[in-house]
Structure 1
Amino acid sequence: MEYGYARISTAKQNIERQIRNIQLSYPNAHIVKEIFTGTKIQSRKELDKLLKLVKEGDTIIFDSVSRMSRNAEEGFKLYQELYHKGIELVFLKEPHINTATYKNALESNIQMTGTNVDFILEGINQYLMALAKEQIRLAFEQAEKEVQDLHQRTKEGIETARLNGKQIGQKKGARLIVKKAAPAKEQIRKYNKDFGGQLNNQETWELIGISKMTFYKYKREIMEEMAE
């Protein structure tokens, strides 16, 4: 069975791009969608369900290694666990760390000769295995670094704007601009559980980036609109 796992971490991202990339190479893959705002694997509900579902011989396709994990230690650990369970992992943007590539590297050991040179050949085999593992670890470390760099750039941008006298966030007592209400409501309809989505109330307002009070105001207005 082939499964495609697509994840976005903000409402501004488009999950359809990942799905399109997966289906282009694996048109029969069953797509699993995740709306997630953190970095730890354990908090990803849909991924947790998928990991319990897959069995030996199944394949999980990711658009990139960062969709599996942006935490290097956890990602590398999960990769090894799935590999040893016989689960095929495919990373469309990093095919050099696909489990098939990794398996080939481990299985293409230089055969022993039964002579005194075997200790040299054994050393070469160990080096090849270590090199393959290091390539996988580096891919996850790069994904984690990209997240850290993004957070740092965002932090620096906010600080620069503040020093330049720009208002950061909404002023106390200020009214929300009406034109922002429509896209926020659309995202509530899309992601909130009460309208068929995956997220609870708090997860929804955190994902969209609005206050708790504004969320409930918009939610009430949506329900009133639907009742009309």
Structure 2
Amino acid sequence: MNNQIYGYVRVSTKDQNEERQVIAMKNFGLLADRIVIDKQSGKDFNRPGYKKLLKKLKPDDTLVLKSIDRLGRNYEEILEQWRIITKEKCAAIVVLDMPLLDTRKEKDLTGVLISDIVLQLLSYVAQTERERIRQRQAEGIAAAKARGVKFGPPQLEMPKEFFNLKKQWKEGKISARKAGKILNISYQTFLRRAKQ
């Protein structure tokens, strides 16, 4: 059987567009049915498309990536997956954005050393970028909360009767369930708003 060439494309969320990576794969000569796409974070390798692709890889097959961070963003795991693909599976890897990371070529000891150093450096950069993104998100959320920005769905506007029913509930004259029914809201919503 002929050696196969597969492309692996990953975007972090369902909203992100994978088209740029897919175009790069097609320009490399890959057919659409040879491109595997995951829409999932690169924090680990528990991704359905990647797992299936890894099982398919045979010796002398080739895995094409647009950039190393599309493989993942965890330094240790990128190095481990690289080892599994190139050593255990005996398949080749081509990273389009980094020609030094092309294991198809016969390399002398110096070439292997250089590609190992580049791989480690790029893996480190990918994980560092992921950590920076998470830090920026946390800082942005904290700053928004400090400004009074509320997260989650907007609160329902309570009818005028709410305040009277809240008073009755606090005095033990009415149950939360009955108050919720009167207001046409769930008793959990009534309780949450009454306790605010």
1:139 paired with 2:122, answer yes
Please point out which of 4, 7, 10 is paired with 1:4. 7
Q: TM-score, normalised by structure 2?
A: 0.69
Q: Which residue does the alignment assign to 1:149?
A: 132
d(CA) in 2 for partners of 1:74, 1:21: 24
Opposite residue 64 of structure 1, the aligned amino acid is S
Cα 1:94/1:5, change in 2 over 3 Å: same
C-alpha RMSD of matched pairs (Å): 2.1
Cα 1:19/1:129, change in 2 over 3 Å: closer
**Which digits, 9 at most, give the CA deviation of each residue in 1:25-71, with x for residues without a partner?**
22446111112235111x11111111111111111111111111111
**Which digits, 9 at most, give the CA deviation of each residue in 1:6-30, with x for residues without a partner?**
1122122102221111111224461
1:70 paired with 2:73, answer yes
Q: For 1:31-180, list aligned pairs within 5 A.
A: 31-37=35-41, 39-41=43-45, 43-84=46-87, 85-100=89-104, 103-104=106-107, 107=108, 109=109, 129-173=112-156
Q: Which residue does the alignment assign to 1:17?
A: 20
Cα 1:141/1:88, change in 2 over 3 Å: same
Opposite residue 35 of structure 1, the aligned amino acid is K
Q: Which runs of 4+ in 1 moved over 3 A?
A: 128-132, 171-174
d(CA) in 1 for partners of 2:30, 2:50: 20
d(CA) in 2 for partners of 1:90, 1:73: 19
Percentage of matched positions with identical amino acids: 30
Asked if structure 2 preserves the Cα contact closer than 8 Å seen for 1:2 and 1:28, the reply is no
Please identify which structure carries the higher helix content. Answer: 1
Asked if structure 1 preserves the Cα contact closer than 8 Å seen for 2:42 and 2:71, the reply is no
Residue 129 of structure 1 and its aligned partner are, at CA, apart by: 4.8
Opposite residue 37 of structure 2, the aligned amino acid is K
Aligned residues: 152
Larger radius of gyration: 2
- Stretches of structure 1 that go unaligned for 5 or more consecutive residues are 110-124, 175-228
Q: TM-score, normalised by structure 1?
A: 0.60
Opposite residue 6 of structure 1, the aligned amino acid is V
Asked if structure 2 preserves the Cα contact closer than 8 Å seen for 1:161 and 1:168, the reply is no
**Which digits, 9 at most, give the CA deviation of each residue in 1:178-199, with x for residues without a partner?**
xxxxxxxxxxxxxxxxxxxxxx
Opposite residue 144 of structure 1, the aligned amino acid is Q
